[in-house]
Homo-oligomer: A and B are copies of this chain.
Amino acid sequence: MHKTKPYCTDESWHGRADCRHCAIRGTVLFSVLNTAELDRALLDIDNQCFESGSEVFSQDANDGYVYTVRAGCLKMVHKLEGGASRIVRMHYPGDAVGLEALLGLPYRHSAVVMQKADICRIPVGVIQALELNNAHLHEQVMRRWQASLDEAESFITDLNTGHAETRLARLLLKLAAHSERTCIPDLLREDIAAIIGVTTETASRLMADFRRRKLIKDKDGRTMKCDQEGLKNLI
């Protein structure tokens, strides 16, 4: 990833509005921004768009960055010994990803884009430096950690419990909860399988069945609309 431009410190930047979800921005910007030191630190934050399918970082790598999601959707993919892999959680706008880097640890999973994403890359040193003098940022980091834990645990209780049809319904509802107007990404059948713990064929059969029952409708190329009420009846 190459250095682009210092969005965060540019008050006239058009994308500024989305910064309201950012742990760094949402808490620090409006409290202690006016120091030269802070402005300097923020220059190290980079921003980039990723296309669907591209990898933000790779399992076992250790590059010293934490990432925040401004737009789009990521999957955290864990490779298993047998060559197969499972998706252990997803991340949405406002989430921080790769927090283990704050502890100097290698990434536990690969982060791969599921839906075109706008992502900020923050060197861990920046966060650590700001945290020293800012308890509020510290709390925001902990909140992001807890959010990852909540998401991983909901994968166990919601997406790995009950019949496959129920699990798929819960997955679609979860995606809808993070989308505008029930417009959700049309996931790869392989990804659905890796999330709800079935084979690709079963995922395909279920999705085809849901479409026939009009629980989901194709919108354009990579998104669809879903019938939330109908899906809730399956749970």
Contact = CB atoms under 8 A, between A and B. Distances in A.
Interface of A: 78, 80-81, 84, 86, 88-89, 99-100, 102-103, 105, 108-109, 131-132, 135, 138-139, 141-143, 145-146, 148-150, 152-153, 155-157, 160-161, 197, 235
A116 to B, nearest CB: 26
A134 to B, nearest CB: 11
Contacts of A139: 103
Nearest to A99: B146
A146 B109 CA distance: 13
B131 A161 contact: no
A108 B145 contact: no
Nearest to A158: B80
B99 A156 contact: no
A88 B102 CA distance: 25
A146 B86 contact: no
A105 B146 contact: yes
Contacts of A81: 235
15 contacts: A80-B157, A80-B161, A88-B153, A89-B153, A103-B142, A105-B146, A108-B153, A142-B145, A145-B146, A148-B149, A149-B149, A149-B152, A152-B153, A152-B156, A160-B197
B157 A86 contact: yes
A152 B142 CA distance: 17
Given A138-B138, A156-B155, A146 B88 contact: no
A147 B132 CA distance: 22
